Structure 1
């Protein structure tokens, strides 16, 4: 299993045609403030923590952006997701095939466009945010299955590179900072990222079951910064903001607030 390799699929071809006929990207929500609003792209990877976007993190991102009066457009890959997980058991549903974009639309009330479109519209946006969830490690990369030898989605890497080159802020939370490490770590000097703790038994008394991702970030060429749920890490030199979110055993309101800190800092840089 891995990132979609582009094999023909009639269902996906029909979806792609339907989206291309719309022309401009659909807005998830538009600012009606008298103040100039920020245009923010949000990249989703499905719907559900074990095989897609972490829903609390994704919704928190959208709510905080809305509260700031941002104009938001959501994007997701038009491809089959790596696999489908029964979230009541944690077991794979081997006969179930789902599409990343179609699943992401559950979060955005249908307003989501193919990720390919974002690659051609980078100049329209002031910032980009990647919520977490295993979809970032399964559908936007192969980190979940291949670890240090992982690949990254062929559109995610150039999108991250273009935003960085244009000095437009990038926000990532939970496991998603691994994407920035893989895409930028070897080419961007002194890139700083966080996934929270670098040990499973954190100094804050929390359990961090995926702390090993901190080591991967370092091996990809970036610097991992230990943070708590009370902060987001701001790499102002590289216009990158990261936050731990559900990398630990946090409560939903704590994740909501932590994602809010990330959004706040992203918009300060925009």
Structure 2
């Protein structure tokens, strides 16, 4: 059975991993007859958001501990991710990808990426093992792959401009579609950058994960 490493960024769309995307992705992996194991950085979140009001809360939460809620405990520190043990990599979106895995939410195209997340992603890229990025997580792609790598965040002009400024080649994409760069074996799909329903998000996620597993 093929094994997919999944990097989460917390729990909750506004300050961590987008929960619908994460669960849909894990379900899609199982439907494709593969297995998954989750990872997350063992760091504090940039901030904590009240998902009912949208207000920032005066407290701290740990990305790994919060992500463990989604993974039901089946999760480890991303620093322990060994590329040799997995066939592919998948990163769901949510603002955590822009706040915790990177600081894109603060610094835009001048952003940096968490050291351990970068090491994990680069290991898959160097091994030419397939990787998939969802929602805003594709902003990481040009930080990992050579200049000109193709990817998508959907049709958001500001994020697309940042993707290009970081060295990538952004391709506009409908919610149900997937952009594949065969040279670098990397896939991306907009998910909730465009989706208005769970079903819409599921269409692109299922397509990406199916392709991801086929590439292993």
Match of 2:65 among 102, 119, 125: 102
Cα pair 1:174 1:195 within 8 Å, conserved: yes
Residue aligned with 1:181, SS:
helix
Residue 155 of structure 1, CA deviation: 1.1
**Structure 1 partner of 2:180:** 234
Cα pair 2:192 2:201 within 8 Å, conserved: yes
Residue 249 of structure 1, CA deviation: 4.6
Match of 1:122 among 59, 83, 106: 83
After superposition, the C-alpha distances for 1:95-135 in whole angstroms (9 at most, x for unaligned) are: x11111111011111111011101xx111111000000000
**Structure 2 partner of 1:250:** 196
Cα pair 1:182 1:217 within 8 Å, conserved: no
**Structure 2 partner of 1:173:** 134
Large movers: runs of 4+ above 2 Å: none
**Structure 2 partner of 1:70:** 34
Consecutive unaligned residues of structure 2, counting only runs of 5 or more, are none
**Structure 1 Cα separation of the partners of residues 176 and 191 of structure 2:** 10
**Structure 2 Cα separation of the partners of residues 218 and 183 of structure 1:** 13
Matched, 1:190 2:148: yes
After superposition, the C-alpha distances for 1:138-176 in whole angstroms (9 at most, x for unaligned) are: 000000011111110001222221111111001001000
Residue aligned with 1:145, SS:
helix
Consecutive unaligned residues of structure 1, counting only runs of 5 or more, are 1-36, 199-210
Cα pair 1:42 1:128 within 8 Å, conserved: yes
**Structure 1 partner of 2:108:** 147
Residue 190 of structure 1, CA deviation: 3.0
Residue aligned with 2:38, SS:
strand
Match of 1:213 among 147, 159, 168: 159
More deviation in 141-150 or 248-257?
248-257
After superposition, the C-alpha distances for 1:13-69 in whole angstroms (9 at most, x for unaligned) are: xxxxxxxxxxxxxxxxxxxxxxxx111100000000000000010001100001112
**Structure 2 partner of 1:24:** none
**Structure 1 Cα separation of the partners of residues 195 and 202 of structure 2:** 13
TM-score by length of 1: 0.78
**Structure 2 partner of 1:132:** 93
Tell me how many residue pairs correspond in the alignment: 216
Structure with greater strand share of residues: 2
**Structure 2 Cα separation of the partners of residues 158 and 255 of structure 1:** 28
* Structure with higher RCO (Cα < 8 A, 6+ apart): 2
Residue aligned with 1:155, SS:
helix
Residue 182 of structure 1, CA deviation: 2.0
RMSD, aligned CA? 1.1
Residue 230 of structure 1, CA deviation: 2.3
